[in-house]
Amino acid sequence: MHQNIRQMLELTYSEENYLKAIFHLSEEGKKSVSTNDISAEMKTRPASVSDMLRKLGEKEVIEYRKYYGVHITEEGKKLALQTIRKHRLWEVFLVEKLNFSWDEVHEVADELEHIKSKILIQRLDEYLGFPKFDPHGDPIPDEYGDVRSRPRLPLSELEINATGQIVAVKDSSAAFLRYLDKVGAYIGARIKVMDKVEFDGSIEILVDNKKSIFMSKEVVNNILIMQ
């Protein structure tokens, strides 16, 4: 069923980071991912990216045609999803068990996600009660790389008087998350759109039927809701 004939190839710490970045960039736009995109995401120079793309291409986790960007392969997707699974499980652990706030977990999880032990992740998953979403509302892939994502749309697309529930954030930067904490928005909060300003794309929302907040276009584009 979910077994691999060929044994799972090992990636280095750095290769895992690049592959994860390529996976995320692939999800956004559908077309191929460019060297410059990866360079920006990874904060390394384009020349370094080219080096890495050659290596990832040889390992067949991406399809690499020089000058034409890359596509992630099925094998690559599977590996990237394993790293993402570990990242998100560790984030849940940090928030649920160690009382980290959701804006503090990203960097630490970026290190923890590379710990190799398979049994560690299985036990951690079990210990956390097999969570399906991380603290930012992102789905946690299962050990076969399957993701049960829930339908979600940017808060900006809700009409006046429409209601919904915050299920995730598109931007997980500490600055944005701390802003959300400050205004009392959180994953699970119930939202009603009270007013929309055509001019600047800002809106007024009611949170949990009690608190009225004004949010800028930048903010509402980065809050994902479920209706």
Site of interaction with its own copies (CB under 8 A): 94, 97-100, 104, 107-108, 111-112, 115-117, 119-120, 123-124, 127
| 66 lies in the binding site for DNA (CB under 7 A) | yes
Cβ nearer to its own copies, comparing 117 with 209? 117
Least distance CB 107 / its own copies (angstroms): 7
Least distance CB 77 / DNA (angstroms): 20
Quick one: how far is CA 189 from the chain centroid?
20
The Cα 171–Cα 210 span in angstroms is 25
Torsion of Cα atoms, 170 then 95 then 102 then 13, to 10°: -70
The Cα 187–Cα 168 span in angstroms is 6
Write down the residue that tokens 């390529």 correspond to: 22
| 67 lies in the binding site for DNA (CB under 7 A) | yes
Asked if residue 18 lies in contact with residue 44, where contact means CB atoms within 8 angstroms, the answer is: no
| 17 lies in the binding site for Mn ion (CB under 5 A) | yes
163-169/153-154 β-pairing: unpaired
Asked if residue 159 lies in contact with residue 193, where contact means CB atoms within 8 angstroms, the answer is: yes
Q: What character string, x for contact with DNA (CB under 7 A) and - otherwise, covers 12-31?
A: xxxx--x-------------
Cβ nearer to Mn ion, comparing 189 with 193? 189
Cβ nearer to DNA, comparing 48 with 202? 48
Least distance CB 220 / its own copies (angstroms): 32
Which span (61-69, 103-111, 163-171, 176-184) binds DNA, by CB under 7 A? 61-69
Compute the C-alpha angle 172/177/179, nearest 5°: 140
Q: What character string, x for contact with DNA (CB under 7 A) and - otherwise, covers 129-168?
A: ----------------------------------------
Query: Which one, of 174, 98, 85, lies nearest residue 130 by Cα?
Result: 85
Helix (H) or strand (E) holding 71: strand 70-72
Asked if residue 150 lies in contact with residue 226, where contact means CB atoms within 8 angstroms, the answer is: yes
Cβ nearer to its own copies, comparing 62 with 112? 112
Q: Where do contacts with DNA occur on this chain (CB under 7 A)? A: 12-15, 18, 34-36, 39, 43-55, 64, 66-69
